Structure 1
């Protein structure tokens, strides 16, 4: 390995280590709360919708796969849809309405009040994600954004945002993956905590009457 390549790898690892240190200090409570919220929504008919572009699309699809399948332990399957993975729908909407609407129109189709919409973007500036956030909030979904540093338009448009304090897109995406795994871990752990049944039942009653 050349000195240049070695230095580049070292810088990348250092950047990720620093980002994760900040994440642990600033965002752990937030991602824990998100996991607990999902545990109050998904077991009672709620749905998670997720979307992103490029590498963030892969992260969003990773999240939905963990919920429909499993993360670590056996549990029921829960409804989670990666909107960008609907290739015929994405191309039809893009062709007929423009690429800015490829997620928003799906949110309008699939989202219901009380569902959760997770939008991932390193820049927080993607027009199609901003349109999805606006549509989701108008339809009564809970909109969460995973982005790069504040301030950015998507963090502002969402109900809540987990913003990674890092410069490089790769480091932001790698930290987003940690957040996705922790979200699934907190979700699973909340489902197995004694007393979780009463917690989720109360939320389900609220959803039925809201």
Structure 2
């Protein structure tokens, strides 16, 4: 490519929706949910596939360690393979919620497409059982996951790395909002 500066300008413009003020409302709502979860001794459960699973793990650790909000993820290989084998891959997350969710808990589900059957079924289970649902998705604005959540983060991009980076940005922003500052000791 002869003009990398133009390419980079175009690429980084894809991130601008992450900083729009309507996102601020959702960030504040998620912060309030996390504070209420912590105050009531409940927990947040995180799940996703592929890179979204990694984002989920990062979120669960940071909410637990930094924000003092008890959190867990469903990325244990034995859990995934046993539940997928016994209940089908499209059902394993919902079945994990059935085993781990308690009244008053929340679930944070991440899917770039918002169409992953196992993530959508987990959201449906959570909705049907009164759990609060936070979703992170991209691509189509009418993806099924986005239609199920209580607090829905969405970026209208089909670029996987952009969507995943923005999801991580939003998630870690809420951790810092719960902590109350951007720079702090991690001791």
TM-score normalized with structure 2 length: 0.87
In 2, distance between residues paired with 1:61 and 1:105?
19
Alpha-carbon spacing, 1:18–1:65, altered in 2? closer, same or farther (3 Å): same
How far residue 12 of structure 1 moved from its aligned partner, in angstroms, is 5.7
Q: Retained in 1: the 8 A contact 2:34–2:69?
A: no
How far residue 92 of structure 1 moved from its aligned partner, in angstroms, is 0.7
Q: Pairwise mapping of residues 20-169 of structure 1 onto structure 2 (< 5 A)?
A: 20-25=15-20, 26-70=22-66, 77-83=68-74, 85-149=75-139, 150-169=141-160
Alpha-carbon spacing, 1:24–1:96, altered in 2? closer, same or farther (3 Å): same
SS in 1 for 2:180: helix
SS in 2 for 1:45: coil
SS in 1 for 2:62: helix
In 2, distance between residues paired with 1:13 and 1:135?
42
In 2, distance between residues paired with 1:12 and 1:167?
17
In 2, distance between residues paired with 1:157 and 1:100?
17
Of the two structures, which has the highest relative contact order with CA contacts closer than 8 Å and spacing of 6 or more?
1
| Unaligned runs of at least 5 residues, structure 1 | 191-210
Q: What RMSD in Å do the two structures reach over aligned CA positions?
A: 2.0
In 2, distance between residues paired with 1:117 and 1:19?
28
Q: Looking at CA atoms only, which structure, 1 or 2, has the larger radius of gyration? A: 1
Alpha-carbon spacing, 1:105–1:10, altered in 2? closer, same or farther (3 Å): farther
In terms of fraction of residues, the more helix-rich structure is 1
In 1, distance between residues paired with 2:157 and 2:77?
31
Give the equivalent residue in structure 1 for 2:185: none
Aligned length: 179
- Alignment partner of 1:185 is 2:172: no
TM-score normalized with structure 1 length: 0.78
- 1:30-82 C-alpha deviation (Å, 9 max, x unpaired): 11221122111123211000100001111111100102222xxxx6x432111
In 2, distance between residues paired with 1:164 and 1:24?
11
SS in 2 for 1:68: helix
How far residue 122 of structure 1 moved from its aligned partner, in angstroms, is 0.6
Give the equivalent residue in structure 1 for 2:184: none
How far residue 13 of structure 1 moved from its aligned partner, in angstroms, is 6.2
Q: Pairwise mapping of residues 193-208 of structure 1 onto structure 2 (< 5 A)?
A: none
